[in-house]
Amino acid sequence: MVTSRKTLRAFDWCELAELGQTYRGKVRDCLWGSDWGAIVTSDRISAFDAVFPQAIERKGEVLQSLAVHFLQLAEQIVPTHLKEVVDPNAMLVRKAQALPVELVIRGYLTGSAWRDYRAGSLESHYGLKLPEGLTQHARLENPVITPTTKEAAGHDRPISCAQAAHITGRWDEIEAIVRQLYAQGVEWAAGRGLLLVDCKYELGLVDDRLVLIDELHTPDSSRYWLDQPGDPVQLSKEFFREWLLEQGADRVIDIPPTVAQAISERYLDLHQRLLGRDLPAPEEQDAQSRIHQRLKGILCAS
């Protein structure tokens, strides 16, 4: 059950901003120094490239807790940007030069891939040819990678793996990392009665070496289903996307309290299923003050 608390809608960097450049993403608020970053994961929720006005209780804590767990696990495959966890909503990371592409690997024909397949646009978007007659949510014999660009403004654009290879110049290495990470995530999920359906990965460079950045195998970056017969039971943000599509929403709309609570409960449920434990009880101190004090103590002393 969700415990009432003040959500972390946005982080105000105040005087810490003098230490570096601030950036506000859809969910994360960042401070970037010369070779480090401080990332605060808020309770904001986004979908279809839009950020919604209502925050989701404890969502940021779930995202960071899962990201930290899977980033540590991923070190068996590729170095990651994670340096230190300083708060349930904040971490320090190594600064990397992000590659200008995002990689989504899909083990099932669902979500936007299903919509593209049904519309006949998978090939024009991603250069993919799948067999005819597949059904929604069908398991793909071999997972496929659907890259996109990372646009500074506007929507990211779907591209083929050949185009991604041209942009990055080191596709064989990137593809191997993505497929290993997905296999690792699938195995972890399977041991807990879940299917890791698809997920997004972002990579960057530190001293010309590939490094895994951003979040990993969280309900914002990945799609999870219960491993059971019948229609999929969504445990990730796809539940919210489906609700928006049911509303016919073509713009940002208010999220009713009951829907916001249902989203929060699904995030918390997924955390428990994946890690075998609940989140710790919420800290009493206001998140803004708490995170500011901890980051100030670390960053100003360095």
User: Contact at 8 Å (CB) between 47 and 246?
Assistant: no
Looking at residue 5, its pLDDT comes to 62
Task: Give dist(CA 122, CA 133) in Å, integer.
Answer: 14
Q: Cα–Cα distances in Å, from 275 out to 131, 153, 181, 272?
A: 36, 36, 17, 5
Q: What's the pLDDT score for residue 154? A: 67
Name the residue among 83, 75, 99, 102 with its Cα closest to residue 39: 83
- Output the pLDDT for position 48: 87
Closest CA to 146 of 137, 136, 157, 132: 157
Distance separating alpha carbons of residues 283 and 275, to the nearest angstrom: 20
Q: What is the DSSP letter of 158?
A: B
One-letter amino acid of 262: A
**Could you tell me which residues are beta bridge partners of residue 209?**
206
Q: How many CB atoms lie within 10 A of CB 149?
A: 16
pLDDT at residue 188, as a whole number: 98
Q: What is the token pair recorded at 244?
A: 């928006």
pLDDT 10s digits, 40-58: 999 999 998 899 999 999 9
pTM of the model: 0.94
pLDDT at 238: 87
Residue with tokens 């010369």: 34
pLDDT at residue 156 in the model: 85
What pLDDT sits at residue 2?
41
Task: Give pLDDT < 70 ranges for the chain.
Answer: 1-5, 154
Query: Are 140 and 109 a contacting pair, CB within 8 Å?
Result: yes
Burial track 237-273 (b if 16+ CB lie within 10 A, e otherwise): bbbbbebbeeeeeeeeeebeeebbebbbebbbebbee
Amino acid 4: pLDDT: 45
At residue 72, the 3 state secondary structure works out as helix
* Gap between the Cα atoms of 11 and 9, Å rounded: 7
Tell whether domain 45-78+97-283 is in CATH 3.30.470.20: yes
